Chain A
Amino acid sequence: MKDIVITVKRQKTELKIWLVCLAVAFGLNVYAIIAYEGQWAELYHSIGFVVTASFVIYVILLVIRLCFYGIWRTIGKSQKTK
C-alpha cells in the first residue's frame, strides 16, 4: 500500500472539468426550458437536477478519460519494451 497523492494542479484541473460539466448541465436546462416551454423559474427550482446531472456527466467523462489513460499507458509501455 502506498499513499495516493492528488496534486494541487490535478485538483484544480478536476474542478475546472466539473465546472465545465455544470455549465453544460445548466445549458441543457436552458435548452429544455425553451424546447419544452417550461418556466424560467425552473432555472432555480431544477438546480438540484442540474447539479446531479453535472456529476453524472463528470463521472462519464472520468470513465472515458481513464479508458484513454489506460490505453495511452499500455501503448507507451509496449513502445518502451521494443
Chain B
Amino acid sequence: MDIRETILAMDIDMRQDRRDFLRNLGILGGGLLAATSPWLSIFADAGDTTGEKLKLGIIGPGSRGRFLMKFLVGNSKVDIVAIADVYQPSIEAALEIVPNAKVYRDYRKLLEDKRVQAVLVATPLNKHFQIVMDAMEAGKHVYCEKTIGYDMDQCKKMYDKHIETGVVFFTGQQRLFDPRYIKVMQMVHDGMFGEITKVRSWWNRNADWRRDVPEPHLEKFINWRLYKESSKGLMTELACHQLQVGTWAIGKLPTRVMGHGSINYWKDGREVYDNVSTLYVFVDGRKMEWGSDIANKFYGLEEQILGSKGTVELERGKYFFEEIPPQPAFIQMLNEWQSDIFGDTAFAGTSWMAETAKPNIGKYILGKKPEADGSSLLTEAFVEAAICGRQPSGILEEGYYASILCLWGHEAITSGQILDFPSEYCIDYDVYDTSTSKTEHL
C-alpha cells in the first residue's frame, strides 16, 4: 500500500478505538511502517490473548508508578497482585488503586512471589539496575521507566541480560506508541518534509522541580531527582523521550556530542543542573539540539523536526510545509486592490525586510489537537508481549539508545569535552546504521 493511502487510512482509523487503529496499522502500513515502527507488530501478531491475565507486580508505586497503574487497572488482562515500596505514603496511595495487592517492603520478596509474572519498575534511577537485573534473573518480564540505567555500563548490562534470559523488556518510551508520532515518522521517512537537516527539542519549566518533604531526613529520598547519587537531573529525567524522537526521525545515531550545564537560578542545595544545552552531531553534519531550562517556561516543551520542505512540531501536533499554498485568486485580487489603495507600508526594499517567520497555521497531524500520549498503548503492548512471552522488535533497542544518548550527553556536559559515540555500546539493531558512528566526520 502506498504511504499516502496508508496515511489516509490512518486518518479514517482515528475515529476508531486507538488500539484497533494501531492493530490496523500493523496490517495497513506494510513495509514502511515495519521499518519505522516495527514494535507495533505486537498488536497485529500477538495472537488471541482474550481471557488471559498477566499477574503483575509494581516496584516503586510512586507518582509515575501510580500514573501507569491507572492504565493497567483498566486493562482486563492485568491483575496487579503485588506492590513493593519502602515509603509508606506511596504504598497507601497505591493500595487505593489496588486494595487487594500484596505489599512487600523488599522488592526481592516480590520477585520470589511465584504468582508474579512481570514487574513494572518505577523507582528512582539509581535503583533500576539491580532491580531489573534481579527481576530478569528471576524470569520476570520487565517494564522499566526511562532512563533505564544510571550509566551506560548499566544499560548495556541490562540489555545483555535481556538477551541472555529472553524475558520481555520494555522501557517507558511512550512516544513510540503515540499515533501522532507514528504517523509523522511515516511522513518523515516518506520524504514529505524533504531532507531532515535538524531536530531541535527542549523541555522548559518554571518550577524548582521539588516535592514537599514531610521530614528533613527524607529530602534526598523524596527529591532524588536533584541529587547526583540518585539521578543525573534533566538529562536522565527529561531528555530521554525527545532524543529518541530525533534519532527516530533521522534514522541514525549521532556520532558526536557536546554540551554545557550549570546551576544558574535554583541555587537551593541541589546538585544537578537547572539548565543544560546539548548538541548531537550526525556523521553527515546533521544536528540534534536538546536543552532544558527550569527558570522559564515560555516555550514549554517541543520537538521540532526541520526538513527542507517542511517542519513538524510534535508536541503541538502540527506540521507546516515551507511552501504555503497560494490564497484563492479572488483573495489575491482583493489584496492587490487593497495594496493599490492603501499602499505598501514597508519602509525599505526587500533586501532590508526582516526575515521573521511568516504566518503558517499548518495542519494537525491527526486532524485535531493532541489529547493524550502513548502511555496507555505502551502499557497495553507490554501486557500483550508479556502474556505471549514475545519481545516486539525495536522496542527495547529504541529505549536502550535513548538512555545511552542521555547518559552520553551527560558525560559530555560534565567532562566539558566533545565526545565521540562510544562504539562499545552499539547493539545489534539495524534500524540505526551504527557503522556510520565509526566513520569520519565531514
Contact = CB atoms under 8 A, between A and B. Distances in A.
A62 to B, nearest CB: 20
Interface size class of A (residues with CB under 8 A): 10 to 19
B327 to A, nearest CB: 9
B333 A46 contact: no
A35 B333 CA distance: 9
A50 B329 contact: no
Interface stretch (A7-15, A24-32, A68-76): A24-32
Interface in A1-49: 28-29, 31-33, 35-38, 42, 45-46, 49
B331 interface: yes
A46 B334 CA distance: 13
Nearest to B331: A49
Contacts of B165: none
Interface string B323-344: 0001011111110000000000
Contact of A45 (B328, B333, B334): B328
A53 B337 CA distance: 14
Contacts of B330: 28-29, 32-33, 38, 42, 46, 49-50, 53
A29 to B, nearest CB: 5
A37 B242 CA distance: 43
B439 to A, nearest CB: 48
A35 B326 CA distance: 14
B331 A28 contact: no
Nearest to A25: B330
Contacts of A31: 333
Interface of B: 326, 328-334
11 contacts: A28-B333, A29-B329, A32-B333, A36-B332, A36-B333, A37-B329, A46-B328, A46-B329, A49-B328, A53-B330, A53-B334
Given A28-B330, A49-B331, 19 more contacts: A29-B329, A31-B333, A32-B328, A32-B329, A32-B330, A33-B329, A36-B333, A37-B329, A38-B326, A38-B330, A42-B329, A42-B330, A45-B328, A46-B328, A46-B329, A46-B330, A46-B331, A49-B330, A50-B330
